[in-house]
C-alpha cells in the first residue's frame, strides 16, 4: 500500500529537515518546503542522492500568494495526506515597543499561514477519509508553562494550540490534527547549548504524522506523550 505524501514547511534545515528525512526514510514521498528554494533544492538533491523521494517547493507561509502557488504545485505532483506546519520565527523585544512588522510576521507564520494550508489541503484529506496534520508548537506556547519566549513567540504559539483544538473539532476523527513541542533543540533558533538533537525533536512529529486510525486528535504532545496546554 502506497504511503501518504507529506508536505513539511520550514524544512530546509533544523527540525523541519529532520522531519523530512524521517518521513522519506520511512517511505513517504515528501515535499520539502522552504522560503529559499535554492536552499531547499540543495537538501532535496542530497536526499534524492540517498534514494529518497523528496521534492523541494518554494513556500513562504507568511505570503498567501506563495501558499496558493505551493498548493497548486503540490497538487500537480499528487494528493497530500500529511501536513506538518513546522515553519517558525523568533523575534526579540517587548510587545509594547517592538516593530509591528515583527508581530505581523509571527502571526502570519504561526497562525494565519498554517490555517491557510489546512483550509487548502484538509478538504481533500477529508474527501479521501484520511489525513494527518501536525502543528509545531512549543512549551513557550503553553499556559501551563507560563507563555514564555520573547516578543510574540509565546502568544502566537498559544494561538496555534487553540487553532489545533478548533480544527480537530471541525475536521472530525478521520483527519487527525495535533500540536507538539519538540523541546529545546540544537538549531539556529534553539542555539548550540540546547540538549536535544534535531532527530529527537522530530520524533514526535513523525509519530503524529503516521498515527493509526484510532490515534488521538486535538491533543498537545512531547516525546509522544500528552502535555498540558
User: Which position among 44, 110, 152, 153 bears the catalytic label?
Assistant: 153
List own/partner pairs for 157-163 with CB under 8 A and 24 or more apart. Answer: 157/110, 159/107, 159/110, 159/111, 160/85, 160/110, 160/111, 160/114, 160/135, 161/135, 161/137, 161/220, 161/229, 163/111, 163/114, 163/115, 163/135
Asked about 206 being catalytic, the answer comes back as no
Place of cell 497548486: 72
Question: Is the separation of the CB atoms in 157 and 136 below 8 Å?
Answer: no
Residues classed as catalytic? 153
Amino acid at each position: 500500500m502506497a504511503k501518504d505524501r507529506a508536505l513539511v514547511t520550514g524544512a530546509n534545515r533544523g527540525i523541519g529537515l529532520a522531519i523530512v528525512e524521517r518521513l522519506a526514510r520511512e517511505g513517504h514521498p515528501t515535499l520539502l518546503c522552504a522560503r529559499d528554494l535554492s536552499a531547499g533544492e540543495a537538501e532535496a538533491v542530497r536526499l534524492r542522492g540517498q534514494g529518497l523521494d523528496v521534492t523541494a517547493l518554494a513556500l513562504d507561509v507568511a505570503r498567501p500568494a506563495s501558499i496558493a502557488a505551493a498548493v497548486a504545485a503540490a497538487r500537480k505532483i499528487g494528493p497530500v495526506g500529511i501536513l506538518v506546519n513546522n515553519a517558525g520565527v523568533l523575534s526579540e523585544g517587548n510587545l509594547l515597543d517592538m516593530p509591528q512588522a515583527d508581530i505581523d510576521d509571527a502571526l502570519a507564520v504561526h497562525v494565519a499561514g498554517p490555517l491557510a494550508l489546512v483550509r487548502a489541503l484538509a478538504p481533500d484529506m477529508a474527501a479521501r477519509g484520511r489525513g494527518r496534520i501536525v502543528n509545531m508548537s512549543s512549551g513557550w506556547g503553553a499556559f501551563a508553562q507560563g507563555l514564555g519566549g520573547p516578543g510574540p513567540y509565546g502568544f502566537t504559539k498559544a494561538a496555534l494550540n487553540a487553532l489545533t483544538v478548533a480544527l480537530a473539532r471541525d475536521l472530525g476523527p478521520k483527519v487527525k490534527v495535533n500540536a507538539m513541542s519538540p523541546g529545546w533543540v540544537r538549531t539556529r533558533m534553539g542555539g548550540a547549548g540546547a540538549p536535544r538533537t534535531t532527530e529527537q525533536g522530530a520524533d514526535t512529529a513523525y509519530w503524529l504524522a503516521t498515527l493509526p486510525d484510532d490515534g488521538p486528535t486535538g491533543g498537545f504532545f512531547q516525546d509522544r506523550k500528552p502535555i498540558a496546554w
